Amino acid sequence: MRSVGVNKSFWKAKKVFITGGTGFIGANLTKKLVNLKADVTLIDRDIKNRNPLKIFKIEDKVNKVLGDVRNSDLVDRIINDYGIEVVFHLSAQPIVGVANRSPVSTFESNIRGTWTILESCRRYKDIVKSIVVASSDKAYGDQKNIPYKEDYPLLGIYPYDASKVCADIIARSYATTFDLPIAVTRLANTYGECDFHLNRIVPGTIISLLRNEVPVIRSDGSLERDYLYVEDAVKGYLLLAESVYQGQNWGEAFNFGTGKLTSVIGLFDLIIKISGKKVKPQILGEAYHEIKNQSLDSTKANVKLKWQPRVTIGKGLKNTFDWYKSHSRIVT
């Protein structure tokens, strides 16, 4: 089935609230919505040294509120004062290693932050018409069969994975119990422009190469993942939000991935080939509490949303490498 495009007229002047809008995926989503002429409001807890909104030249084109998503009074005020119609809840502590070291802070951000946002949406359900909550492929945990399908049980047990299980279930609970317009995304490992979490293999490897440093692989290189280009991820978020606004897919979860497995060392080799350099990584073999192999079946998104990934991993990595190279003064 062929994919469809985002409805540009739907998003024009739409009042949108994004949590995590200055993070990697959130900033790319924000940029797309600004280009679609949406009226975007963000909440941000920290002032970042590397500001993706400034890099994308859209900082003055959004409403930005400093604060914490766990502050229910502040979230209430944002939804009410800005007349929010669509909510994208992407705010989270996103790094597996950080979650293993600091599980409580991860649970606070990823679980408490989710119910705080949803409680405010429940209180203002007369104006909020569409809510999309970010879960993760990690919520599935370690399954016998891959690629994962949406009806698989959520078996995530390590701290980051468990936090996403909880957020996922809480979101669908609010949709069912309170008849709220909520849907959940479960994305594959997403890569692309403006990701400054350098412990992730794609930006970490690229920036090491640009610095003429030896790239580091934390695992033994054998872990296999499904890698999704950020442009395709953003399109999935928008199509899902549109459908929810139109009364469809409430309480549903959707996978967004390619269904293809690439090993960490295989991904590294692809990046090295694009760079034109000859270098071998330092393989630490130190990763722990991580799932061996993961990929997603996105048939449901293809059938119900007419979504499918359009950017191949080769093209996506080339786009990403070229972006970091062209922004080397900022990122290195």
- The full length of the chain comes to 332
Helices 230-245/24-35 angle, 10° precision: 60
From the list 314, 309, 211, the residue with the least C-alpha distance to 271 is 314
CB 33 within 8 A of CB 11: yes
Distance between CA atoms of residues 235 and 62, nearest Å: 20
Q: Residue 77, class by beta-carbon neighbours within 10 Å (0-12 exposed, 13-18 middle, 19+ buried)?
A: middle
Measured distance CA(138)–CA(223) in Å, rounded: 13
Q: Please name the amino acid found at residue 264.
A: V
Catalytically annotated residues? 160
d(CA 194, CA 200): 12
**What is the amino acid identity at position 321?**
F
> Would you call 290 helix, strand, or coil by DSSP?
coil
- What distance in Å separates the CA atoms of residue 163 and residue 272, rounded to the nearest whole number? 34
Among 7, 81, 99, 9, which Cα is nearest to 43's?
81
In Å, the largest CA–CA distance within the chain is 58
Compute the distance between CA of residue 131 and CA of residue 88 in angstroms, rounded to an integer.
6
Beta-bridge mates of residue 197: none
CB-side neighbour CA atoms (13 Å) of 265: 11
Question: Residue 223 is encoded by which pair of tokens?
Answer: 């872990």
Integer Rg of the chain from CA: 19
